[in-house]
Amino acid sequence: MELALQLKTVEKRTKIVSGYRSFQLPVTMDVHYEGFYYIGKNTDHIEKLVKMYSRGYATEGLANIKDELLRNLSSDQHLVPEVIICEAVFEPEAVREFAQFLRKHPELRRIPFILDCSGLSGADLEFSKRIIRPDEVIFLCTAADKDIKGKVQFLRKLKLAEKEVAVPRIEEDIKGREWSFGPLSKRAFDILVASIALLILSPLFVLIAIAIRIESRGNIFYIAKRAGKGYRIFNFYKFRTMQQGADKRVSELHHLNLYAGESKGPVFFKVNNDPRITKVGGFLRNTSMDELPQLFNVLLGDMSLVGNRPLPLYEAETLTTDDYAARFLAPAGITGLWQVKKRGNKDMSVEERINLDIDYASKCNFTTDLWIIANTPNALFQKENV
């Protein structure tokens, strides 16, 4: 039995179309996104979503969802939900098939598909994420309303950017043929290079760890939450270059922020001659050896060798507008286009930095990555590091 929560009713409906392949979108269709579609039986979660949205629809199973979505899309109002949330209680293969249906449809692919994993943990959670491959995972039982709405808003803008963003090409710096470099090839290349690098550099890791520990008390590694591709949050590793507890002093140094004068747009934080940096830390930063532990992030799949820099959460949350979300289409990387082109340039603005990130996101290929890797050593020893 289906539970319908139509707070606003679609007055006209057309005949159900079976299967999206037979559905032809009008060229001038103006699709309207409103409300939520919940798949599951948890009434508490449904009530929570009803309070958040002016329109809602819920169903206890996956049986008729495709027809319902296509019927609403083909109606006079061309109405589809802002987000589809599915409980992780169904057969994973069935949910995966539905997620693939959404991804292949020219309009429905823009709807964020979120898996509600309330009650799941450990191996079950990882299995569901790996098999179903949702756009995001949330826990409706504990998630705050504003966090859910913010996540949905970001995912919608990200999905729109995947299709609509048009950015400059970077061919002026790349000579010769561009070779395709799919996700699997890029991942294999990352694993191979990162594994060899870690093996060769392991003695250096030991020396750096000893130097850090001799100079100051605290952890050898600095671990922080960063946002990477698709706003995915992960633990980011570096050698510690600052005094212990340096993150708590950010507010004290806002007057020294090089980006403080840029009142509009995203907020970045960077300080020259940062007083929190230790002597060993200063050397590590000037030689970029503090970045070496990110090779572990590459092996874990959080990052790639080449991509856009993963951002601290306070910076990433200012980049959710249509103009900026496209930079999150690229994988997070140890090195990238803006590091090679602009590192050490004190005149680099936030807009220039983001435009280079978007530039790379629009043109990820093997030739580009090789060019960036080849030019990275020239940038490593410049004084301006981030």
- Does the pLDDT of residue 246 top 60, yes or no? no
Tokens encoding 315: 């910076």
Tokens of 253: 């140094």
Inform me whether the pLDDT recorded for 2 exceeds 60.
Answer: no
Average pLDDT estimate for 47-71: 85
Query: Which pair of structure tokens corresponds to residue 200?
Result: 């060769």
Q: Which residue has the higher pLDDT, 17 or 373?
A: 373
Does 332 have pLDDT greater than 70? yes
**CB distance 205 to 239 below 8 Å:** no
- Residue 135 CA to residue 170 CA, distance in Å, equals 29
The pLDDT > 70 percentage for the chain reads 73
**What was the pLDDT predicted at 193?**
95
Say what the pLDDT of residue 292 is: 94
Q: Which of 126, 43, 144, 135 is nearest to 98 (CA)?
A: 135
Mind listing the pLDDT tens digit for each residue in 40-50?
888 889 888 88
Lowest model confidence (mean pLDDT) among 169-183, 220-234, 269-283? 169-183
Assign domain 20-164 one CATH number from 3.40.50.10490, 3.40.50.2020, 3.40.50.720, 3.40.50.2300.
3.40.50.2300
Picking from 20-34, 101-115, 217-231, which range would have the lowest pLDDT averaged per residue?
Answer: 20-34
Alpha carbon distance 291, 214 (integer Å): 20
Dist CA 355 CA 338 (whole Å): 9
Residue 128: pLDDT band with limits 50, 70, 90: confident
Backbone φ and ψ for 122, nearest 5 degrees, come out as 60, -130
Residue 12 pLDDT more than 60?
no
Whole-number pLDDT of residue 345: 56
Top mean pLDDT of 196-205, 252-261, 267-276, 308-317 is at: 196-205
Mean pLDDT confidence for 371-378: 84
Give the pLDDT of residue 323.
61
Tell me the range of 12-26, 187-201, 273-287, 316-330 where mean pLDDT is highest. 187-201
Q: Rounded distance, CA 205 to CA 190, Å? A: 20
What residues does each domain of the chain span? 20-164, 172-380
Q: In sequence order, what are the beta bridge partners of 227?
A: 233, 311
Asked if 112 contacts 152 with a C-beta cutoff of 8 angstroms, the reply is yes
| Residue 304: φ, ψ to 5° | -120, 165
Average pLDDT, the chain: 76
- Amino acid 6: pLDDT: 42
- Of 279 and 19, the structure prediction assigns the larger pLDDT to 279
Write down the pLDDT at residue 285: 86
| pLDDT of res. 209 | 94
Residue 239's pLDDT is what?
94
Q: How far is CA 254 from the centre of its chain?
A: 26
**Across residues 53-82, what is the average pLDDT?**
83
What tens digit of pLDDT does each residue of 146-196 get?
Answer: 888 888 887 777 776 654 433 334 434 444 444 445 677 888 999 999 999
